[in-house]
Amino acid sequence: GENVEQHPSTLSVQEGDSAVIKCTYSDSASNYFPWYKQELGKGPQLIIDIRSNVGEKKDQRIAVTLNKTAKHFSLHITETQPEDSAVYFCAAIPTGTASKLTFGTGTRLQVTL
């Protein structure tokens, strides 16, 4: 089955700096890669996603890049703000698995003042 690895597990940046979280996946058939943000005590919220026919997608301060050849994708947050502090999860869906998402282990992002 699919295996998603996520790095780093924790990340601390100063307000205004950029943050990058990286994920790799194992199943070359995966074709959808969402990113979720989870605040303390809440459910994960979808913040951005990318499909395998697209190399990069941007939404204001958030961008995701995908390298199908290397089987890795990354989340980029620019001009970080304290409210960006949360746990971020990457995920992948391989075809033929009844749309079950496989999640990475999460990255705890701390934006300091």
Sites of contact with other proteins (CB under 8 A): 32, 34, 36, 41-46, 49, 51, 89, 93, 98-101, 103-106, 108
Shortest distance in whole angstroms from residue 44 CB to other proteins: 5
Measured from the CB atom, is 29 or 46 closer to other proteins? Answer: 46
CA distance 88 to 74: 11
CA distance 69 to 37: 26
Measured from the CB atom, is 12 or 45 closer to other proteins? Answer: 45
CA distance 62 to 75: 7
Q: Which two tokens stand for residue 46?
A: 């979808």
Measured from the CB atom, is 10 or 18 closer to other proteins? Answer: 10
Cα angle value 108/112/113 (rounded, 5°): 160
Shortest distance in whole angstroms from residue 68 CB to other proteins: 16
Shortest distance in whole angstroms from residue 77 CB to other proteins: 19
